[in-house]
Amino acid sequence: MLKVLQRIESAIDAVIQPIVFVGMAALIAVITLQIVSRVLFTAVGWTEEVARFLLIWITFLAATLAFQRGRHIAVTFVVDALPLRLRHVARIIALLVALGFLLALVVIGYRYMQVQSFQKSASLRLSMTYVYAVIPLSSALMAWYAFNDLVQLIVAGPSNAPQPEEPVS
């Protein structure tokens, strides 16, 4: 079962990484077009809106990748000072709390997306549903990663549980 969960996690990661990369490249291209058009020609009106929407999607999807890699900010000195069994229990509790929060965010994000569905963007006349869809999507992906980590922690037990990576200085 762990192998299946890890393969699914790797597959999701293999999809999200290129999307974030292409989104960053598109963001750079759109902002460059915006600057060049303002300096040399008449400003292209839609570039600011596209840049904003790209930034929103990149931020949420990259946050998903950071969550999967354990790169979000965490204060762990108290947990790290605990005995092995208590440390294991604390990590399980932390993942359960994160999972609960993320599942709530999926529901709230979906409702917000529905409430804003009538709204259109100013320049592109794009339904804001597409912009806000990243909230429940990224929350669901992070919830999947938290569930996967939780299963690994429970199956591995306290002595074999994977330790979080050391922060990069």
For residue 12, being part of any structural domain is answered with: yes
Residue 167 pLDDT exceeds 70: no
Residue 7 pLDDT exceeds 90: yes
**Alpha-carbon span 16 to 141, nearest angstrom:** 10
For residue 168, being part of any structural domain is answered with: no
- Could you tell me what percentage of the chain is helix, strand and coil, using 3-state DSSP and rounding each to the nearest 5? 80, 0, 20
Residue 163 pLDDT exceeds 70: no
pLDDT, position 74: 82
Three-class SS of residue 127? strand
For residue 131, being part of any structural domain is answered with: yes
pLDDT tens digits along 87-139: 999 999 999 999 999 999 999 999 999 999 899 999 999 999 999 999 999 99
Whether the CB-CB separation of 89 and 96 falls below 8 Å is answered with no
Is 57 buried (19+), middle (13-18) or exposed (0-12) by CB count in 10 A?
A: buried
Residue with tokens 């917000």: 112
Structural domain containing residue 76 = 2-160
Name the CA dihedral angle for 90, 92, 97, 102, rounded to a multiple of 10 degrees. 140
For residue 115, being part of any structural domain is answered with: yes
**Alpha-carbon span 146 to 49, nearest angstrom:** 33
pLDDT, position 70: 87
For residue 169, being part of any structural domain is answered with: no
Residue 158 pLDDT exceeds 80: no
Strands of 16-153, DSSP E: none
For residue 166, being part of any structural domain is answered with: no
pLDDT, position 164: 56
The overall average pLDDT reported for the chain is 91
Record the tokens describing residue 153, joined without a space.
């922690």
pLDDT, position 156: 84
For residue 65, being part of any structural domain is answered with: yes
Residue with tokens 């040399």: 40
For residue 151, being part of any structural domain is answered with: yes
C-alpha closest to that of 152 among 83, 52, 70? 70
pLDDT, position 94: 93
Q: How many domains does the chain have?
A: 1
pLDDT tens digits along 45-97: 899 999 999 999 999 999 999 999 988 888 888 888 999 999 999 999 999 99
Residue 166 pLDDT exceeds 90: no
Is 91 buried (19+), middle (13-18) or exposed (0-12) by CB count in 10 A?
A: buried
